Structure formats: C-alpha cells, structure tokens
C-alpha cells in the first residue's frame, strides 16, 4: 500500500552540519498515531515507532534509524500491515544502506538499497528485492539529483538550516520505491501552529512536498509535514492526500530528545 508507506516516511535536501550540531542523538524514540480520514470520518489506522541509535560501523558519528508500524486490530480487518524499515547514514548525512521489510496482507517482500554514490548532481544505488525466497530483481539505478531512501530523509530534513530557505524557496530531491523513481519538490511554507486537542499546541515549521507519483490524489502538496520549531525539529504532524481520503499522523510520545521540546505550548484549563 504505497499511499500509507509515503505517509509515514519522507523527504528533503542537503546540509553539512557537524555531528555536534545535529538536532538528534542516539537513543531518541518517537511514537506516532496514524489516522485515516474520509470525509468527516476519522479512523485510527495504527501506530508507528521510530528510533535512532549509533551506527554499527566503527565511526562513532554514524547513525542507524529504524521505523516499524502496524495497523490497529480494527483496521487489520480492512488492510493488515506490519512493515519495518532500517537505514544507516554517515557522519556527514549521506545515505549508506536501507532495508524495507513489507508484510501487507498476503503481500510480503524485502527490499535493500546500497548507495554506491551520492552527490547533489548524481546518485547511483543498487536495489535488490526478494519475495517468497525468490530474487525478483537486483539492479543499479541512477538519478541526476540528490537521492535518499525514505527513512534517511527524516534525518536530512531535520538537519537542514531553515534560515537558507528564504533565498531558495524550493528544493529538489528524488527517491526510489522499487524500481520507480519519485521526484520530489520541497517547499518551506514558514511557521505554523499545530493544535492537539484542547490543552496543547505546538510551534512548528510547515513543509509541503510535491510528488510525481500517481498514488496521490493531488501531486501538489501531496504530503504536508509540520516539524517542531525548536532545536529537535521532530515531526509533530504529517498529512498525505491519498487517491481516496487522506492519512494523518500525529506525534503521541517521545523519549531521549537531545533538547527540551520548547515548541510545546500548554493551554490552561478553562
């Protein structure tokens, strides 16, 4: 189910921060609630858990990130999903490796991405997919722009210097899903307030993503992402326009953030 896959994982261009300046640290853990919206109806579709740890290599400044999500018991009756993603990224925020394990109903496969080259002008990635213990394809794909796997893009967008967006309001990046290349235009739409219930608000930066992919109802602003307007820059809310309805993702809990979550605004009880 590519629509929900894109809802959780996303998105952006390059930075050159030092490791000490990164807005994340090993041990960070985030939990999200996933909802499916159709008209006025909003159903909880499942949960997602995201974590960052030190990389397996000897380089102490490399990172390993993991994301797993599953549909709720109610939504399992409609479409059951048990997907897991793992990625490794270098100390200068260059993608190294990505593995996606998909379990969606009776549809199951494992896909790996090995990044041979990764520059703003040229990317070369070996992609290998195995399904039912059979090799489905093993090929090398190229792109003439900056290319990241979906999971490592989370760290990339968080690490970017947002003050530079005023001079260049649009950025371009690509990714691959299977053998399909997806071109993404990223736009920073400035600061925004996200409300969570009646007692909590968050100061955020809002980003919009335009996709060249047919699974979305609209290619323009196919995904909108709200990142906390503080030093952590964690995802607070994500919204994806699907062919039928929309998917919305909300941060529900967090542990071991590098900095205080100063973007949180608590509203006094009336």
Return the domain boundaries, the chain: 2-266
3-state secondary structure the chain: CHHHHHHHCCCCCCCCCCHHHCCCCCCCEEEEEEEEEECCEEEEEEEEEEEEEECCCCCCCCEEEEEEEEECHHHHCCCCEEEEEEEEECCCCCEEEEEEEEEECCEEEEEEEEEEEECCCCEEEEEEEEECCEEEEEEEEEECCCECCHHHHHHHHHHCCHHHHHCCCEEEEEEEECCEEEEEEEEEEEEEEEEECCCEEEEEEEEEEEECCCCECCCCCCEEEEEECCCCCCEEEEEEEECCCEEEEEEEEEECCCCCCCCEEECCCC
Find which of 36-45, 68-77, 131-140, 167-176 is predicted with most confidence, using mean pLDDT: 131-140
pLDDT score of 10: 41
Residue of 54, 16, 7, 3 whose CA lies nearest to 34: 7
In the structure, what pLDDT confidence band is assigned to residue 6 with cuts at 50, 70 and 90? very low
Q: Which residue has the higher pLDDT, 76 or 208?
A: 208
pTM of the predicted model, to two decimals?
Answer: 0.83
Residue of 138, 137, 129, 141 whose CA lies nearest to 182: 141
pLDDT score of 1: 47
In the structure, what pLDDT confidence band is assigned to residue 3 with cuts at 50, 70 and 90? very low
pLDDT score of 140: 96
Q: Which residue has the higher pLDDT, 54 or 130?
A: 130
pLDDT score of 27: 94
Q: What mean pLDDT is predicted for residues 234-257?
A: 87
Of the listed ranges 150-154, 198-202, 262-266, the one predicted with least confidence: 150-154
pLDDT at 20 over 90: no
């Amino acid at each position: 189910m590519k629509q929900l896959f894109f809802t959780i994982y996303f998105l952006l261009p390059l930075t050159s921060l030092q490791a000490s300046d990164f807005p994340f640290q090993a041990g960070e853990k985030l939990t999200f609630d996933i909802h499916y919206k159709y008209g006025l109806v909003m159903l909880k579709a499942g949960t997602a858990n995201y974590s960052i740890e030190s990389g397996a290599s000897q380089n102490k400044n490399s990172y390993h990130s993991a994301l797993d999500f599953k549909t709720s018991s109610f939504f399992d009756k409609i479409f059951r999903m048990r997907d897991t993603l793992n990625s490794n990224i270098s100390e200068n925020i260059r993608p190294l490796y990505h593995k996606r394990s998909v379990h969606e109903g009776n549809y199951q496969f494992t896909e790996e991405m090995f990044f041979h080259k990764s520059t703003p002008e040229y990317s070369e990635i070996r992609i290998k997919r195995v399904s039912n213990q059979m090799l489905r394809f093993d090929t090398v794909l190229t792109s003439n722009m900056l290319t990241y796997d979906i999971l490592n893009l989370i760290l990339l967008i968080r690490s970017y210097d947002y003050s530079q967006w005023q001079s260049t309001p649009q950025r371009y990046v690509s990714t691959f899903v299977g053998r399909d290349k997806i071109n993404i235009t990223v736009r920073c739409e400035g600061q925004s307030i996200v409300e969570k219930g009646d007692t909590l608000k968050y100061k955020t930066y809002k980003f919009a993503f335009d996709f060249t992919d047919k699974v979305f109802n609209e290619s323009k602003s196919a995904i909108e992402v709200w990142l906390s307007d503080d030093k952590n820059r964690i995802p607070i809310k994500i919204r994806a326009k699907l062919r039928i309805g929309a998917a919305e993702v909300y941060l529900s809990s967090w542990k071991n953030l590098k900095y205080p979550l100063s973007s949180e605004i608590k509203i006094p009880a009336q």
